[in-house]
């Protein structure tokens, strides 16, 4: 015997999400194999293996062709829908799930027409390939901004949402159709990139049931298996879906520290058909994304910090790691924030100020 549950789970893509799935699979006895889509030779899969992906779309390569041809590629058909914002928004409309008002940027649409339909401030988003705020273009009537060349038919236009805050829900659906959820996460994006997350928060509890019903509807409609993330705008007590990710998600990284079953473990369990149970969440958890900064061993000296370094080359704006904290009591939270603040680049002052404002009472 191999010592495994005789299960090999291939992950299309070998970035940090694939690596963290592998990390989570190890104690379960599941052999998780993230695979670089540009590797020269295609892997040889066994018929009982399982395939998942850490990204929404992929070019045709020997590796992606081999994985795509396999019968046990979880949710395979759904990736094409999610990877194209036009199809994704159309599906959400069809299911009656609220999203930011939008339209396709059609071949003959002018800026004036789009402003007439959607208002003075409109965000254009490329149908495919955008992430971390890339592939987006603001159309502001006051500035006479123009639709970029080549964006007609290749982008959607979305009304600017004056949201109070951004929240996300990480859901899990097992092979029997049972759904499980983590508590809502509050997210801070700066320049279109997620910089920090907090969960759970008492004041988000009243939204939990509504959010769960929305994501359940979507996961059931497509008979989804595994982890799905729903990013939302919270506007005047209501939730509007911003976008859906058919995979483990950055705003769920805190579950590595704050839950007995992380989002990565949940995904591995469900796609390989292992038993799933309701994850139990402890403490107040917050995550800080490390963006474009060099590795600093002093982060490890901060009490309670749990570092995940992705071992990627450092470039401005690139996510290169994250630090999780799972804490109880304002004093402990404050102490951790004060220790980590001087160890991060200057632009993190805003991030830390946001965490303090959300987590500490005004007198602290
Ligand atoms: P991700 O890295 O999460 O995949 P992305 O680049 O694919 O992100 P979105 O999540 O659509 O793109 O947008 C990134 C951020 O831009 C959002 O989290 C939000 O802060 C802002 N944003 C997106 N759409 C709107 C909108 N309609 N109105 C106002 N702000 C928006
Ligand atoms: Mg997003």
CB of 309 closer than 8 Å to CB of 320: yes
> 235 or 4: which carries more pLDDT confidence?
235
- In this prediction, residues 313-326 reach a mean pLDDT of 97
Does domain 8-75 match CATH 3.40.50.20? yes
List residues bridging with 313 in a β-sheet: none
Report the mean per-residue pLDDT for the chain: 96
**What number does the ligand 1 atom closest to the CA of 231 have?**
10
Instruction: Find out whether the beta carbon of 132 lies less than 6 Å from any atom of ligand 1.
Output: yes
**Of 265, 189, 208, 221, nearest to 30 (Cα)?**
265
Minimum CA distance residue for ligand 1 atom 9: 133
Q: Are strands 102-104 and 121-126 parallel, antiparallel or unpaired?
A: unpaired
Q: pTM for the whole thing?
A: 0.96
In the chain, where does the domain assigned CATH 3.30.470.20 lie? 165-359
Q: How far is the CA of 214 from the centre of ligand 1 (A)?
A: 19
At residue 132 the predicted structure's pLDDT band, cuts being 50, 70 and 90, is confident
Q: What is the pLDDT of residue 150?
A: 92
Q: Which of 242, 291, 318 should be mutated for ligand 1, with most atoms under 8 A from CB?
A: 242
In the chain, where does the domain assigned CATH 3.30.1490.20 lie? 101-159
At residue 130 the predicted structure's pLDDT band, cuts being 50, 70 and 90, is confident
Is the pLDDT reported for residue 92 higher than 80? yes
Minimum CA distance residue for ligand 1 atom 2: 132
Q: How far is the CA of 253 from the centre of ligand 1 (A)?
A: 18
Q: What is the pLDDT of residue 252?
A: 98
CB of 228 closer than 8 Å to CB of 74: no
Is the pLDDT reported for residue 263 higher than 90? yes
At residue 133 the predicted structure's pLDDT band, cuts being 50, 70 and 90, is confident
Q: Give the fold, CATH level 3, of 101-159.
A: Dna Ligase; domain 1 (3.30.1490)
Instruction: Find out whether the beta carbon of 131 lies less than 6 Å from any atom of ligand 1.
Output: yes
Q: Which of 101, 118, 192 should be mutated for ligand 1, with most atoms under 8 A from CB?
A: 192
Neighbours of ion ligand 2 (CB under 5 A): 231
CB of 348 closer than 8 Å to CB of 337: no
Instruction: Find out whether the beta carbon of 243 lies less than 6 Å from any atom of ligand 1.
Output: yes
At residue 362 the predicted structure's pLDDT band, cuts being 50, 70 and 90, is confident
- In this prediction, residues 213-230 reach a mean pLDDT of 98
- In this prediction, residues 241-254 reach a mean pLDDT of 98
At residue 21 the predicted structure's pLDDT band, cuts being 50, 70 and 90, is very high
Q: How far is the CA of 45 from the centre of ligand 1 (A)?
A: 36
In the chain, where does the domain assigned CATH 3.40.50.20 lie? 8-75
136-168: per-residue pLDDT in tens?
999 999 999 999 999 999 999 999 999 999 999
Q: What is the pLDDT of residue 3?
A: 60
- Cα dist. 173→62, 182, 224, 244 in Å? 30, 12, 6, 15
The domain covering 165-359 belongs, at the CATH homologous superfamily level, to: ATP-grasp fold, B domain (3.30.470.20)
Cα(199)–Cα(255) distance, integer angstroms = 9
């Amino acid at each position: 015997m191999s010592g495994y549950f005789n299960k090999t789970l291939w992950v299309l893509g070998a970035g940090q999400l694939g690596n963290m799935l592998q990390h989570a699979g190890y104690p379960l006895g599941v052999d998780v194999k993230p695979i670089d889509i540009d590797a020269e030779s295609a892997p040889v899969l066994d018929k009982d293996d399982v395939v998942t992906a850490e990204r929404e779309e992929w070019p045709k390569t020997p590796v992606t062709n081999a994985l795509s041809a396999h019968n046990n590629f979880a949710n395979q058909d759904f990736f094409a829908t999610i990877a194209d914002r036009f199809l994704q928004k159309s599906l959400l409309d069809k299911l009656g799930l609220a999203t930011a008002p939008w339209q396709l940027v059609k071949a003959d649409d002018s800026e004036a027409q789009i402003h007439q339909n959607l208002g003075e401030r409109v965000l254009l988003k490329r149908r495919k390939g955008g992430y971390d705020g890339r592939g987006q273009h603001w159309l502001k009537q006051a500035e006479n901004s123009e639709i970029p060349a080549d964006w007609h038919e290749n982008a959607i236009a979305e009304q600017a949402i004056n949201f109070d805050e951004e929240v996300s829900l990480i859901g899990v659906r097992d092979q029997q159709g049972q759904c499980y959820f983590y508590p809502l996460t509050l997210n801070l994006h700066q320049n279109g990139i997620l910089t920090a997350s907090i969960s759970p928060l008492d004041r988000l509890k009243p939204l939990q049931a509504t959010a769960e019903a929305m994501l359940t509807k979507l996961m059931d409609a497509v008979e989804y298996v595994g982890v799905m993330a729903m990013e939302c705008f919270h506007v005047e007590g209501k939730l509007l879906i911003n976008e859906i990710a058919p995979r483990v998600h950055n705003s769920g990284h805190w579950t590595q520290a704050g839950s007995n079953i992380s989002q990565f473990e949940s995904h591995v369990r469900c796609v390989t058909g292992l038993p799933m149970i309701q994850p139990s969440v402890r403490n107040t958890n917050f995550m800080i994304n490390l963006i474009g900064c060099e590795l600093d061993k002093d982060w490890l000296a901060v009490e309670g910090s749990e570092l995940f370094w992705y071992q990627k080359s450092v470039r401005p704006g690139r996510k290169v790691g994250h630090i999780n904290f799972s804490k109880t009591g304002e004093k402990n939270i404050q102490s951790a924030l004060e220790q980590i603040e001087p160890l991060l680049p200057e632009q993190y002052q805003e991030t830390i100020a946001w965490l303090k404002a959300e987590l500490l009472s005004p007198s602290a």
